[in-house]
Chain A
Amino acid sequence: MGLALMLLIWLITLVSTYFFVAKTWWLPAGASAATGFIDQQFTFTFIILGIVFVAAQGLLGYIVWRYRQTPKSPPVSYSHGNTTLEIAWTTLTAILFIGLNLMGSRVWASQRFEPAESGAVQVEATGMQFAWYFRYPGPDGTYAKTKASLMDPSAGGEAAVGLDTSDPSAKDDVVTGTMYLPVNREVDLSLRSVDVIHDLFVPAMRFKQDAVPGLNIHMHFKPTQIGEYEIACAELCGLGHYKMHGMVHVVRQEDFDKWLAAREAEKQ
């Protein structure tokens, strides 16, 4: 029985670890400035805890086999513990866990405590059951007012976010269903929701943030690679949660300018 149990525990450990180490499934390829930091911290945490995992499970399997009761077992060691050992592993674990935490905190701070770089492109993302809309303030750099009474999700676009067209700064506001971003330029993103909580999750950008009704949450990130990236909603928002899908197109600055100019032209 001890042998069977040891083999099962070891097999589970081996198979589990294999798929982690082989990276059969892993974080998707990143395309933002934060990717390096986050993936590095992830890998480091993974290595440390992976060693602890293999050691603990390996030892557990070994002990149940090694100390199984047999007619020849020597008498048990009658011991109530060992204070030195207790202090040693408490200290080690504390250093390990708190150290890991402090390392990661630096990245969190640089992302969240500072405002976006000057010259960042302004985008407002609005979530609603079950779509995302993205608004660009246009040349005047000002988002026009929106009104709850004007919101009509079934109409889509400007009407969905309730754009108040009587506001003069609404003239150059562009509302789209796909997020266009220039590469290598920071995005100053405002996140809003009109109905329930949604979450803008762009795995390739290592970006995730809830959009909460009643709050306007400012975030910033910097795409570093041209491409098309998927958005998934990561907060349960109702029956269509699974299909609240969107796209981020990261393009060259000049393509972005052309795209935005074309949207402005369409609007006039």
Chain B
Amino acid sequence: MATPATVHSHAPQGFIRKYIFSLDHKVIGLQYYFLALTAVFVGMFLSLLMRIHMIWPTANIPLVGEIKPETYLALLTMHGTIMVFFVLTTAPQGGFGNYVLPIQIGAPDMAFPVLNMLSFWTTFVGFIVILCAFFVQGGAPLHGWTGYPPLSAVPSAGPGEALGADLWITAIAIFCVASLMGALNFITTTLDLRAKGMTLMRMPLTVWSWFITAILGLLAFGVLLSAGILLLMDRNLGTSFYVPLVVINGQVMGHRGGSPLLWQHLFWFFGHPEVYIAILPGMGVASQILSTFSRKPIFGYRAMVYAMLAIGFFGFMVWGHHMFMSGMSPYSAFAFSILTMCIGVPSAIKTFNWLGTMWKGHIRFDSPMLYAIGFVSLFVSGGLSGPFLAQPVLDIPLHDTYFVVGHFHLIMGVAAIFGIFAATHYWFPKMFGRMMNEPLARIHFFITLAGTYAIFMPMHYLGMAGQTRRYSQFTEVAYQSKLLPLQTFMTYAAFVTIGAQFIFVINLFWSMFKGPKASDNPWDASTLEWTTATPPPHDNFGGKTPVVNNGPYEYGVPGAAKDFVMQTDPPTQPVH
């Protein structure tokens, strides 16, 4: 078995090497997690301001003041960018992937510990840079998280398009570099550092999901990085990659011959795989937890692996479905549309298999299981609006309406966040050696599940009725102003749901210090992280190297002494 660099075979001494510039994947995983936790509260606060502004445009909000239309657009840009990059990419992959993947494959650390540390601190710098955009002259950019040029490429096109937009795209470029380093590390670790007996088809589905996500990241972030550098050049060096001859505020700009659609192709070539980067780890976590808490093997392990591979593969060929209305050739819409429908097939397979896993199981309703079941429900709801949007002809009424906003919030927003909640409650005992508070977790789960549906399901109704997204006010278009009561309802639902998130945070920090002590394997789970001490020692297995004899989800094995067989237990009968 290969080992990572021997540079840190001994546990580091001193606070800075141990907790700040640590090379330990577990510390780095927690650093990613707490960065994402900070970012999610920033992003959530921005969405709260947006929801208030839509309903009470002249409200004087304490500390913030009155929100102007351009400020609303800055809020939505920053909300989207922070949530997609610094929460949905950071927590599931950087956080849990980092912490759990090496332990689940029986490795003492990631393959490149220094690169791992660099990757986190680069992400951190990116986060600081993007926050700075709020505080510069003109404020944060108003071009949305997709940043379509020429709006995003010409500083005079709107408030926030000057220095704020430079910081925005610089932060994204920095994030890309960090993610490329991370992806490389995950792929190498998975391929090279598996313990004896940990064949590919014995890897937990979480490991598969992080591995596939890393491959997607390696292929997608490079493209976004290049696209971002070209955008910076258009903005600052007078090049014309994305900007043709345009007249802004009566001024003829110096650009000639660029293509606004080029950015859209490059952006969505990254942007669509990014959706799967956000959700695949959630799928892995849901599979792991549904099997563990149903006390049954996962239904169709191989089908699950192939489905994730298929989703990753097709994920790179569907970016054009974001561009049906863009002026792209209408013929290409056929290809993108068919391929998009194809991606629905492996997604459906996963859902069937999750239901099949619970079928005739012994379902235990510990908090991780609640969130995993919530994940399945949200994944179904968010997924089924996909085949509407994937049809170019239905995209005519639905494109750029709230229908789209509802769709992607349910599936890549809330479902992915439920994956994070599930993972938090599941691995918390291993990470901190204590249990989370179950009653608080249940209250948080029920309010959040009902609340997110109350916010995001009505968006589909609004979208069908033609409510366009990214409008700071709905009063200027008569048919849209009629939809305001539903928007008001959603704002109240958002108040309740956002309020409930403090229950989660209180539970998290309270349990960290005051929760009851956890055993090494509180969930009776079978994968490798539950074979080691809680919390795991610096080298994960205390000098020993696990040897794997079984698949990852051997629950309810007939004739076994307990209702589960650990991966390191003596081999069970071959199963079919």
A residues at B contact (CB < 8 Å): 1-2, 4-5, 8-9, 12, 15-16, 19-20, 24-28, 34, 37-38, 41-42, 45-46, 49, 52-53, 56-57, 59-60, 63-64, 67-69, 73, 75-82, 85-86, 89-90, 93-94, 97-98, 100-101, 104-105, 107-108, 111-113, 128-129, 148-149, 151-154, 162, 191, 194-197, 199, 201, 203, 206-210, 212-215, 217, 230, 232-243, 245
Contact = CB atoms under 8 A, between A and B. Distances in A.
A245 B249 CA distance: 18
B557 A78 contact: yes
B509 interface: no
Contact of B555 (A76, A94, A98, A154): A76
A236 B479 contact: no
Contacts of B356: 81-82, 85
B94 to A, nearest CB: 29
B197 interface: no
| Closest 9 pairs (CB-CB, A-B) | A214-B244, A81-B300, A25-B461, A112-B330, A76-B556, A203-B466, A242-B471, A239-B70, A69-B362
A236 B148 contact: yes
A240 B72 CA distance: 11
Interface string B350-363: 01110110111111
Interface stretch (B106-114, B224-232, B396-404, B539-547): B396-404
B440 interface: no
Nearest to A246: B477
B387 A49 contact: yes
B392 A108 contact: yes
Contacts of A210: 325-327
A77 B301 CA distance: 16
Residue from B154, B298, B471 whose CB has the most chain A CB atoms within 10 Å: B471
Interface in B157-193: 157-159
Given A42-B388, A210-B325, A239-B159, A12 B453 contact: yes
Contact of B352 (A89, A101, A201): A89
5 contacts: A60-B376, A63-B358, A79-B299, A81-B353, A196-B154
Given A56-B351, A67-B359, 5 more contacts: A25-B462, A97-B387, A196-B246, A214-B257, A217-B327
A52 B129 CA distance: 44
Given A108-B393, A197-B151, A238-B158, A214 B245 contact: yes
Contact of A80 (B334, B461, B476, B576): B576
Given A4-B446, A213-B244, A81 B299 contact: yes
Nearest to B74: A239
B46 interface: no
A217 B329 CA distance: 10
B303 A86 contact: yes
Given A93-B344, A104-B391, A148-B247, A238 B303 contact: no
Contacts of B300: 80-82, 86
Contacts of A97: 341-342, 344-345, 387
B465 interface: yes
B397 A27 contact: yes
A199 to B, nearest CB: 7
A242 B373 contact: no
Given A67-B359, A81-B353, A236-B151, A53 B325 contact: no
B465 A233 contact: no
Given A203-B479, A206-B396, A151 B250 contact: yes
Interface in B380-409: 380-381, 384-385, 387-388, 390-394, 396-397, 399-401
B349 interface: yes
A25 B299 CA distance: 39
A90 B479 CA distance: 42
B362 A76 contact: yes
Interface in B250-268: 250, 252, 257-261
Contact of A38 (B250, B358, B397): B397
B483 interface: yes
Contact of A76 (B361, B393, B483): B361
B142 interface: yes
B348 A89 contact: yes
Contacts of B430: none
B288 to A, nearest CB: 15
Nearest to B344: A97
B interface, size bucket: 35 or more
Nearest to B258: A214
A100 B258 CA distance: 37
Given A101-B390, A242-B473, A78 B349 contact: no
Given A12-B450, A98-B341, A162-B247, A28 B465 contact: yes
B364 interface: yes
Contact of A239 (B73, B345, B352, B360): B73
Contacts of A215: 261, 327
B457 interface: yes
A9 to B, nearest CB: 6
Given A151-B247, A239-B159, A98 B301 contact: no
Contacts of B334: 105, 108
B338 A101 contact: yes
B464 A45 contact: no
Nearest to A26: B464
B7 interface: no
Given A26-B464, A104-B394, A239 B142 contact: yes
Interface stretch (B208-216, B289-297, B416-424): B289-297
B330 A108 contact: yes
Contacts of A212: 260-261, 326-327
Given A25-B486, A196-B151, A245-B477, A63 B359 contact: yes
B355 A241 contact: no
B239 interface: no
B531 interface: no
B92 to A, nearest CB: 22
Contacts of B45: none
Nearest to A201: B468
B331 interface: yes
Nearest to B328: A210
A79 B355 CA distance: 13
Interface in B315-339: 325-327, 330-331, 333-334, 337-338
Residue from A34, A86, A94 whose CB has the most chain B CB atoms within 10 Å: A86
B521 interface: no
A181 B471 CA distance: 27
Given A27-B465, A68-B365, A41 B474 contact: no
A19 B258 CA distance: 45
Interface in B459-495: 460-462, 464-466, 468, 470-474, 476-480, 483, 486
